[in-house]
Amino acid sequence: MLLIDNEENISLHVNILETICDALSAKEVELLLVDAPTIQALNHEHRSIDKPTDVLSFPIEDFPHAPLGSIVINYELAREKAEKLGHTSEEEITLLFIHGLLHLLGYDHEVDDGEMREREEALIKQYHLPKSLIVRVES
């Protein structure tokens, strides 16, 4: 189940986000859309990096019936990146959501042998999305 906090009423492909969430986890996932200053504060507090980022994932310890965790997306940076790359902000947010959800599921592209990249690419193809974060960085 997907819970969305979207106070700014940012346009989303809600059905696709819910489908992806349900396909990858039976647990509840929270999606928060925030501005650049908010995600910068979270990035500084939790990662000691004092700059905005595009997506953060906060897993919840594996307790019975506990949610999987929270995904926080910087809608301002998503909008900028989408415009620069020639696709919609809804698509960019969906890419960021997939990336964040895979992190919640335990994938880590910084230390794995390409497993996260492969999984992300498969989901991108399945949902007909533009290139992902990992694919863009590695291209």
Residue 95 belongs to domain with CATH number = 3.40.390.30
Q: Quick one: pLDDT at residue 110? A: 80
Whether the model clears a pTM of 0.85, i.e. scores above it, the answer is: yes
Q: Quick one: pLDDT at residue 85? A: 87
Q: Give the 3-state secondary structure of residue 2.
A: strand
Q: Quick one: pLDDT at residue 113? A: 83
Domain around 79: 2-138
Intervals of the chain under pLDDT 50: 139
